[in-house]
Amino acid sequence: MGPKSRITLVLVLLGFALCIFIERSGLLSAYILQISMYVGINIILTLSLNLVNGYMGEFSVGHAGFMAIGAYVSSIITVRVFHNQMGPLVFPLAVIVAGIVAAATSFVVAFPSFRTRGDYLAIVTLAFNMIVKSVLENIDALGGPRGFMGMSRLTNLANVYAWCLITIYVVRNFVYSNFGRAVLSIREDEVASNLVSVNTRQMKIMVFLIASFFAGVAGGLFAHVMQFINPRSFAIQKSTDILVMVYLGGIGSIFGSVLGATVYTVLLELLRPLGVWRWVVGPIMLVVLMICRPTGIMGLKELSGLIPREEQVLKEKEGADVVTASD
């Protein structure tokens, strides 16, 4: 283990200790604690959508639909199957199953939309989001439009933190591999990507599955912070919020997504006094961003600490005559 990975490990463990300390000590108010968990959940949502919309350059607009599936599936597991009588492993498993079901559903969406070239994904995901919401509204066994309740507060700062780290780790490993390079090439020129041997259709489906898995996970965590979910929580507005966070923080950047999710979540809380008007902020920001800075704050740049060592430019090692982008 190199010194850098040792430092990372120590930081990760310190983070866990801090989470547990904050929660036990009552240092932060319940409100702040709740916002912190939302920030974490939004990081997971943003980063996963960034894979599809940022790195791959497709335009999926129904991420909340997958989140809804995760939220309902995990709640059914904890409330209906286990009746809140649980060992410590049930909740993590419920969240994983939530992710798997969301990913499986996304396959149904991805398969037809990626069969042909063209911009079907936006339309298909939009429709998907609306269908999920109206299906949930019409299933009385799940509470219909009134929603589903009875979940215990199983989500805590430590497990949100853990899932954030897992998401960051998976996305980073994915991005800095042949698969990630392939995804970036699809973003630039899909036909050319196919012509350098990338199986673009398979890559698109793979990315979509990974993204939906984490949306489902985020849904599971969300349901067990709120302890109450209803179909309206997962409407297009929610999907729009996630889009804003992606494009605010920066496409194709892990750090960008962390930044975008944090800033936007806190901003929405600060704007609470605006009442319903604050729901106008997201769409307006999205439009302004798309026009003025379509790549977001970080825009395809990464914090160097998040780049695997072997991918960093080592001038000394690769010879002194290396030209870098900034020269």
Partner 1 sequence: MSLLQIEGLTHFFGGLKAVSDFNLELANGEVVGLIGPNGAGKTTVFNLITGVYKPSRGRIRFDGHDLVGLQSCQIISMGIARTFQTIRLFRDLTVLDNVRLGHFAQARYGIRDALMRSAKFRDEEKRIKDKALELLEAFNLTRYAYVPAKALPYGEQRRLEIARALSSNPKLLLLDEPAAGMNPREIDELLERIAWLKDEFHLTIFLIEHQMRVVMGICERIAVLDFGETIAVGAPLEIQTDPRVLEAYLGKEVS
Judge contact between 3 and 225, C-beta under 8 A: no
Residue 256 main-chain phi, psi, to 5 deg: -55, -45
Out of 84, 177, 237, 304, name the contact with partner 1 by CB under 8 A: 177
Nearer to partner 1, 174 or 279 (CB): 174
Closer to partner 1 at the Cβ: 32 or 192?
Answer: 192
Distances (CA, A) of 66 to 129, 131, 141, 232, 235: 8, 11, 20, 14, 11
Q: Which of 77, 94, 103, 198 lies at the binding interface for partner 1 (CB under 8 A)?
A: 198
Q: Does 212 bind partner 1 (CB under 8 A)?
A: no
Residue 312 and residue 304 in contact, taking contact as beta carbons nearer than 8 Å: yes
- Using the rule CB under 8 A, is 12 a contact of partner 1? no
Q: Is the dihedral of CA 278, 282, 284, 288 positive or negative?
A: positive
Q: Does 323 bind partner 1 (CB under 8 A)?
A: yes
* Between 131 and 322, CB nearer to partner 1: 322
Considering the rule CB under 8 A, would residue 201 count as an interface residue with partner 1? yes
For the chain, the first-to-last Cα distance in angstroms comes to 33
85 binds partner 1 (CB under 8 A): no
CB of 213 to partner 1, least distance (A): 11
Q: What is the sign, positive or negative, of the torsion defined by CA atoms of 87, 88, 91, 93?
A: negative
User: Of 3, 88, 273, 319, which lies in the binding site for partner 1, with binding defined by CB under 8 A?
Assistant: 319
- Half-sphere exposure of 81 toward its Cβ, with a 13 Å CA cutoff? 13
Q: Can you say how many angstroms the Cα of residue 288 is from the centroid of all Cα atoms in its chain?
A: 22
What does the alpha-carbon distance between residue 44 and residue 312 come to, in Å, rounded to a whole number? 25
Q: Does 195 bind partner 1 (CB under 8 A)?
A: yes
Select from 21-29, 39-47, 123-131, 173-181 the region that touches partner 1 (CB under 8 A).
173-181
The residues of the shown chain that bind partner 1, judged by CB under 8 A, are 170, 173-174, 177-179, 181-182, 184-185, 188-189, 191-201, 206, 300, 308, 310, 313, 318-319, 321-325
